């Protein structure tokens, strides 16, 4: 069976390896660029405390920027890469055989359908894991200067291309493709469902489930003291509530203080509109009951989240493969 | 004689369509059995049930002493060639031999190479680029290379020209001789098969209409021709399979060996094709019966 699998996927293996090599080259070239930019800035700042040539304020780190248009482009490619395995190898695995009728040839040889599926799917899942793993390893190296700069490892879009999770995404995409092919029995519709299903699963997990893997930490401060966090955390939400518990907003263009519109604050604080107007004691007293809050996932949970997300997608893959096995073994060929 | 296939009340239903109902057949070891029936009669369904590729809705089957199932021991004994002659289009004959060698415990690669060589089928060309006849021959040879005890062939000659048909059936007959191999092959035409088969199962409208050894079946049937008259007297001693009336004459196909006493009937032997067509017509739509009577009038 291994021989047949290899023979059937030889061409795809070569193409896949070529694409992977091209992606690796892209990552290495842009990655080296990022690293050298980063080192230039660091060494400049080591020799002067003023502003460096790149417009960086060396004492605060303000204006520090490495990368360029390549960062967004490469991130997008690495985000999309896992699904390719499911589209071009997973979806046709069963569907193309059913379409050509060759399953009637393969399943009448001296091996059971269960074994046929186990070996074939096993190798393809391994290939998907390798595909995701190589990309994830290289991307993790590639992203280290920008991560150091922004402390952004934990943010959606970054989290998704680093360390473990891309491996799980690729395995999930492969399982989804195989299952869609077995259920739908036609390659092109199965590919469409794989693409749609992958995007839906990833978006749903990222937007709605991931923030709740562990209950977020909320820090509350009484105005005028404001809550500030440092380091690499994942900000879920922040804002200010008035004593009635209503969320008061800012950013509407009017004069602001503490990140909220002045009109939402007590009239005693109207003086804050004047840049020189200090915090009067009457304003300070009127602010009693106004609270600012920050809800976030602390950086220390990064690995727990990577583990949970990986586990969730691996479990989804196992469910899909079990469905495939049941369908192939129980349904008429 | 040992029985290779025995089914009891086999039923296969697809949603609302009944593809096969109440199917009882017996196939003895070592015979070449033709499964004859019009398109849509349930031939493919029956073969797929026997091969284990599909499961029956109801009924029992015994194939080589066990129920068809996904098990290496069963699969090793049964060869199946589907109607569309499925081969991997981009694989060469040699690569197909490789697949068989890797997936079967018993595999006669030399047999395939020898046979393909004698048929002048190249080993190194993709199956997709071979002619229909060559593909069918390759697929049959691969089916036989497993050294199965039972071979099920679904309309193997339907897509072939007359010469390729003859070659194909000769290859098959060759393989059966002396091996104790049992073959069941389906077709909607009996003419191709007449020379090689010795057993017949007639399926029509998803039911078995007739089954048994061809010589015995032919001996049991005869054609009676006489002036147009009521057939009630004959019906008492014989089963009337088909009655065709023209203005002056009545032609009957009857089953049963009782003597026909009425001298008005002229009795003669029946041909295989004639008998098969009569049984198929029995259950077919009226249009087809009309066609038969038109043929009689000419």
Task: Give per-residue burial for B248-287: e unless 16+ CB within 10 Å, then b.
Answer: eebbbbbbeeeebeeeebeeeebebeebbbbbbbbbbeee
CB-based contact A111 B91, cutoff 8 Å = no
Residue of chain A whose Cα is closest to the Cα of B86:
A102
Best to test chain B binding among A106, A110, A117 (most B CBs inside 10 Å):
A110
The HSE-up count of residue A244 (CA atoms within 13 Å, CB side) is 6
> Which residue did the predictor score with more confidence, A289 or B80?
B80
Same domain, B11 and B52: yes
Q: Is the pLDDT of residue B237 over 70?
A: yes
Give SS3 for B127: helix
Asked if residue A137 lies in contact with residue A99, where contact means CB atoms within 8 angstroms, the answer is no
Q: Is the pLDDT of residue B297 over 50?
A: no
Asked if residue B279 lies in contact with residue B209, where contact means CB atoms within 8 angstroms, the answer is yes
Same domain, B80 and B187: yes
Q: Is the pLDDT of residue B59 over 90?
A: yes
Q: Is the pLDDT of residue B295 over 50?
A: no
pLDDT for the residue numbered B229: 78
Nearest to B53 among A107, A109, A114 (CB): A107
Helices and strands: H and E segment counts in chain A: 9, 6
pLDDT in tens, B203-219: 988 889 899 999 999 99
Cα distance between the two ends of chain B: 44
Same domain, B199 and B225: no
CA distance A6 to A122: 12
CA distance B196 to B25: 20
Q: Is the pLDDT of residue B246 over 70?
A: yes
Contact list, B76 vs chain A (CB under 8 Å): 110
Rounded to the nearest angstrom, the gap between the alpha carbon of residue B30 and the centroid of all alpha carbons in its chain is 15
Provide the residue-wise pLDDT of chain A in tens; the chain has 333 residues.
888 999 899 999 999 999 999 999 988 888 888 888 778 777 777 776 555 555 565 655 555 556 666 777 888 888 999 999 999 999 999 999 999 999 999 999 999 999 999 999 999 999 999 999 999 999 888 888 776 666 678 888 888 988 999 999 999 999 999 999 999 999 999 999 999 999 999 999 999 999 999 988 888 887 777 767 766 788 888 888 888 778 877 666 666 777 777 777 777 777 776 666 667 777 777 788 888 888 888 888 989 999 999 999 999 999 999 999 999 999 998
Rounded mean pLDDT of chain B? 87
Q: Is the pLDDT of residue B289 over 50?
A: no
Mention every residue, 6+ apart, whose C-beta is less than 8 A from residue B108.
B145, B147
Of B159, B178, B204, the residue that ends a domain is B204
CA distance B290 to B285: 9
CA distance B42 to B207: 8
CA distance A149 to A72: 15
Q: Is the pLDDT of residue B4 over 50?
A: yes
CA distance B294 to B290: 6
CA–CA min distance B208, chain A (Å): 22
10 Å CB burial of residue A236 (0-12, 13-18, 19+) is middle
Same domain, B57 and B151: yes
Could you write out the DSSP letters of every residue in B28-88? ETT-EEEEE--TTSSHHHHHHHHHTSS--SEEEEEETTB---S-HHHHHHEEEE-TT----
pLDDT for the residue numbered A185: 95
Cβ atoms < 10 Å from Cβ of B230:
8
Number of domains present in the structure of chain B: 2
CB-based contact A102 B87, cutoff 8 Å = yes
CB-based contact B103 A4, cutoff 8 Å = yes
Nearest to A332 among B54, B86, B89 (CB): B54
Could you write out the DSSP letters of every residue in B223-276? EEEEES---HHHHHHSEEEEEEE-SSEEEEEEE--S----TTSEEEE--HHHHH
Beta bridge partners of B152: B80, B184
pLDDT band, residue B65 (cuts 50/70/90): very high
Nearest Cα to Cα of residue A129 among A18, A20, A7: A20
Query: DSSP class of residue B70?
Result: S
The reply to whether B113 falls in a domain is no
CA distance A184 to A121: 17
pLDDT for the residue numbered B296: 37
Same domain, B225 and B198: no
pLDDT for the residue numbered A274: 67
* Residue A250 in tokens: 């800012």
Percent of chain B exceeding pLDDT 90 equals: 54
Asked if residue A191 lies in contact with residue A99, where contact means CB atoms within 8 angstroms, the answer is no
Nearest to A4 among B86, B89, B99 (CB): B99
Same domain, B170 and B259: no
Rounded to the nearest angstrom, the gap between the alpha carbon of residue B51 and the centroid of all alpha carbons in its chain is 14
Beta bridge partners of B204: B207
Q: Is the pLDDT of residue B130 over 90?
A: yes
Best to test chain B binding among A104, A114, A329 (most B CBs inside 10 Å):
A104
As for the ipTM of the complex, it is 0.86
Domain span at B156: 3-86+144-204
Same domain, B44 and B155: yes
The reply to whether B13 falls in a domain is yes
Nearest to B70 among A8, A105, A113 (CB): A113
Same domain, B162 and B281: no
The reply to whether B187 falls in a domain is yes
CA distance A174 to B126: 28
Q: Which of A18-22, A121-125, B146-150, B290-294 has the lowest mean pLDDT?
A: B290-294
Same domain, B13 and B69: yes
Same domain, B156 and B281: no
Q: A-B interface: how many C-beta pairs under 8 angstroms?
A: 74
pLDDT for the residue numbered B72: 93
The residue count of chain B comes to 298
The reply to whether B121 falls in a domain is no
Q: Is the pLDDT of residue B92 over 60?
A: yes
Is the dihedral angle over the CA atoms A116, B14, B33, B194 positive or is it negative?
Answer: negative
CATH of the domain at B194: 3.40.50.300
Domain boundaries, chain A: 2-214+299-330, 217-297
The reply to whether B123 falls in a domain is no
Cβ atoms < 10 Å from Cβ of A226:
13
């Amino acid at each position: 069976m291994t021989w047949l699998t290899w023979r059937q996927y030889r061409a795809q293996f070569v193409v896949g390896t070529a694409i992977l090599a091209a992606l690796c080259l892209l990552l290495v070239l842009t990655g080296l660029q990022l690293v050298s930019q980063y080192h230039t800035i660091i060494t400049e700042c080591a020799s002067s405390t003023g502003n460096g040539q790149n417009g960086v304020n060396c004492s605060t780190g303000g204006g520090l920027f490495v990368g360029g248009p390549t960062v967004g482009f490469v991130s997008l490619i690495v985000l999309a890469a896992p699904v390719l395995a499911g589209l071009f190898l997973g979806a046709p695995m069963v569907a193309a055989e059913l379409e050509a009728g060759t399953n009637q040839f393969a399943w009448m040889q001296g091996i059971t359908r269960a074994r046929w599926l186990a070996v074939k799917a096993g190798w393809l899942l391994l290939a998907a894991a390798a595909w995701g793993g190589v990309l994830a390893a290289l991307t993790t190296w590639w992203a280290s200067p920008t991560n150091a700069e922004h402390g952004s490892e934990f943010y959606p879009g970054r989290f998704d291309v680093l360390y473990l999770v891309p491996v799980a995404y690729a395995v999930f995409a492969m399982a989804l493709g195989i299952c869609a092919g077995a259920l739908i029995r036609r390659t092109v519709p199965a590919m469409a469902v794989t693409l749609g299903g992958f995007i839906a699963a990833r978006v749903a997990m990222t937007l709605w489930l991931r923030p709740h893997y562990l209950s977020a930490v909320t820090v509350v401060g009484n105005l005028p003291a404001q809550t500030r966090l440092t380091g690499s955390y994942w900000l879920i939400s922040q804002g200010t509530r008035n004593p009635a518990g209503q969320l008061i907003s800012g950013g509407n263009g009017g004069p602001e203080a503490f990140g909220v519109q002045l009109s939402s604050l007590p009239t005693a604080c109207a003086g804050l509109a004047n840049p020189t107007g200090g915090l009067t004691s009457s304003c300070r007293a009127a602010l009693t009951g106004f609270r600012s809050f920050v809800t976030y996932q602390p950086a220390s949970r990064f690995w727990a989240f990577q583990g949970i997300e990986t586990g969730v997608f691996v479990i989804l893959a196992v469910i899909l493969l079990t469905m495939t096995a049941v369908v192939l073994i129980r349904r008429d060929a | 004689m040992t029985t290779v296939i025995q089914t009891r009340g086999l039923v296969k239903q697809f949603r609302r369509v009944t593809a096969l109902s109440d199917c009882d057949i017996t196939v003895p070891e070592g015979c070449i059995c033709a499964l004859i029936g019009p398109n849509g009669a349930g031939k493919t369904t029956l073969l797929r049930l026997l091969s284990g590729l599909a499961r029956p809705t109801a009924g029992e089957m015994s194939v080589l002493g066990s129920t068809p199932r996904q098990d290496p021991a069963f699969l090793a004994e049964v060869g199946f060639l589907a109607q569309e002659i499925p081969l991997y289009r981009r694989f060469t004959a040699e690569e197909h031999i490789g697949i068989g060698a890797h997936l079967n415990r018993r595999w006669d690669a030399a047999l395939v190479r020898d046979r393909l060589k004698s048929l002048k089928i190249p080993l190194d060309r993709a199956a997709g680029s071979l002619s229909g006849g060559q593909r069918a021959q390759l697929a049959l040879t691969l089916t036989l290379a497993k050294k199965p005890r039972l071979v099920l062939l679904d309309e193997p000659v339907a897509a072939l020209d007359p010469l390729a048909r003859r070659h194909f059936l000769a290859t098959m007959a060759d393989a059966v001789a002396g091996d104790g191999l049992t073959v069941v092959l389906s077709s909607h035409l009996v003419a191709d098969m007449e020379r090689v088969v010795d057993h017949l199962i007639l399926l029509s409208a998803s039911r078995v209409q007739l089954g048994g050894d061809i010589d015995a079946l032919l001996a049991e049937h005869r054609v009676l021709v006489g002036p147009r008259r009521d057939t009630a007297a004959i019906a008492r001693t014989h089963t009337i399979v088909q009655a065709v009336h023209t203005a002056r004459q009545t032609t009957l196909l009857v089953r049963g060996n009782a003597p026909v006493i009425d001298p008005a009937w002229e009795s003669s032997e029946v041909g295989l094709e004639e008998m098969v067509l009569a049984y198929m017509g029995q259950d077919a739509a009226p249009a087809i019966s009309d066609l038969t009577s038109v043929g009689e009038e000419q």
